[in-house]
Amino acid sequence: MSCKIFLLCFVLSVLFSYSCAVAENTAEDITDLCEITASQKDKIFRLTDGKDRQPFEGKHGKENWIEITAPEGKLICGLYLQWTSTPSEVAVDIRNEDHYDEYAVVNTNGYLHEYLSLDHASQVRLRSLDEHGTIPVVEMNILSEGALPGWVQVWQPPCEKADLLVYIAHPDDEYLFFGGTLPYYAVERKLHVAVAYMTCRNDTRYHELLNGLWTAGVREYPYLLGFIDKTATLKASTTYKQWGGEDAALDAVAELIDRIRPMVIVTQDFGGEYGHGAHMAVADIMLRLVRDGERTLTWQPHKLYLHMWEENQLQMDWTQPLESLGGRSSLDVASDAFSCHVSQLGFSVKMKNGKKYRFEVVAGGPLDNGAFGLAYSDVGQDSDKNDFMEHIELWE
């Protein structure tokens, strides 16, 4: 081999090795290596304690701030921030020699989990722009340069042209009663999947909700309609009273449908699965809006499916291994997503027949998460009976 050929091969091998190293370079979580100071020293631990029930916040009406200094040899290239649902704008400043320059304003879009990419900073400061002076951070991760690890959630805006709307009463219902719906349609089929929750009891459930959706492969931020979630009731009528009346609930969901224009909607069992009044109510709302036309909609969905609806039934098989999911099934991934709902693990409820139903994501069973029925269609009946999107022309 000539010297020129050898040199060329050597250069190419170095370039290839470098490109592979760059491709494999994942951002490091340097939170524990950074020096963190704050206006309230005794609350700093809350930023990194892994507990989503204790925000840093700071003192109301005071000038609150958090300052982060990178360790020697490292630079801060991103902040992954988890907020409370308290609206409070926060400025992120980057130190430039002997002073700070404002870089961005965060916590403005209502996303409880937010990632901010930074420009290789050695020092960063967060300060409140809210009149009450709070910085409602629940958890904070500081990242170095490199590709983001999979657990960092970078949310896309809420879907406004939905191929599929999954509309449910509470966080975790989307896995218990819909099985592999979200991983299959969001990841395998790459559709625009909107997820809407009628209720969410508190911020802990909200954080679990986002962690679950991210694990399931959903990337478009969900919709929360903000209705109250009280102790389980066995009557839809009682649930409506808790929600401020039927008109308030119907109007809110009608507005949601008009906003996101779903081709297909999937919702819960008209019997409430195990008899839950909120489950009954969300099914009742969709039947009244989509099938019965109780409100004038500017957008008419083409199909409506209900869990365990007895008419025009179809059976979804969520157990097939999928290459897009690394050889796992959509049900496997849904089970992982459900495990993010830590506050709900280990629970069981008594069904209408007196038997206990344990909260877990499995195939079949008395509340089969693969069993659905077509309650409304303006594109004809299903023939294959194994696909919510049959006969549907998708949004581009």
Check if the beta carbon of residue 52 is closer than 8 Å to that of residue 203. Answer: yes
Residue 396 lies in a domain: no
pLDDT in tens, the chain (396 residues): 444 433 334 433 434 343 434 446 999 999 999 999 999 999 999 999 988 888 998 888 888 999 999 999 999 999 999 999 988 999 999 999 889 999 999 999 999 999 999 989 999 999 999 877 899 999 999 999 999 999 999 999 999 999 999 999 999 999 999 999 999 999 999 999 999 999 999 999 999 999 999 999 999 999 999 999 987 777 899 999 999 999 999 999 999 999 999 999 999 999 999 999 999 999 999 999 999 999 999 999 999 999 999 999 999 999 999 999 999 999 999 999 999 999 999 999 888 788 888 999 999 989 999 999 999 999 999 999 999 999 999 998
Domain closes at, from 73, 108, 143: 143
> In sequence order, what DSSP letters do the residues of 310-344 get, joined into one string?
SSSEEE----SB-GGGTT-BHHHHHHHHHHT-GGG
Give how far the C-alpha of residue 77 lies from the chain's centroid of Cα atoms, to the nearest Å: 24
What's the chain's length in residues?
396
- Beta strands (DSSP E) in the chain are 35-38, 65-69, 76-83, 90-96, 99-106, 113-121, 123-128, 137-143, 164-168, 193-199, 223-227, 264-267, 303-307, 313-315, 348-350, 356-358, 371-377
Q: Could you tell me if 184 and 82 lie in one domain?
A: no
pLDDT at 24: 60
Check if the beta carbon of residue 313 is closer than 8 Å to that of residue 371. Answer: yes
Domain with 368 in it: 164-377
Q: What DSSP designation does 140 have?
A: E
Instruction: For residue 247, give the amino acid letter.
Output: D
Q: Could you tell me if 108 and 221 lie in one domain?
A: no
Residue 20 lies in a domain: no
pLDDT at 5: 38
Give how far the C-alpha of residue 52 lies from the chain's centroid of Cα atoms, to the nearest Å: 16
Q: Could you tell me if 231 and 347 lie in one domain?
A: yes
- Sign of the dihedral defined by the CA atoms of residues 212, 88, 68, 100, in that order: positive
pLDDT at 355: 85
> In sequence order, what DSSP letters do the residues of 27-88 get, joined into one string?
--B-GGGSEEEESSGGGGGGGSSS-TT---B--TTS--EEEEEPPTT--EEEEEEEE-SS--
Q: CATH no. for residue 55?
A: 2.60.120.260
Q: Could you tell me if 77 and 190 lie in one domain?
A: no
Q: Could you tell me if 58 and 94 lie in one domain?
A: yes
Q: CATH no. for residue 236?
A: 3.40.50.10320
Tokens 């939170």 label which residue? 31
Residue 6 lies in a domain: no
Residue 377: name the closest of 309, 279, 281, 298 by CA: 309
Provide the token pair at 194.
Answer: 């909107």
Angle between helices 277-286 and 246-260 (to 10 degrees): 60
Domain closes at, from 83, 111, 143: 143
Q: What DSSP designation does 156 have?
A: B
Count up the domains in the chain and report the number: 2
pTM attached to this predicted model:
0.92
Q: Could you tell me if 119 and 192 lie in one domain?
A: no
Domain closes at, from 110, 143, 176: 143
For residue 370, what are the contacts with CB-CB under 8 A and spacing of at least 6? 179, 315, 316, 317, 318, 363, 364
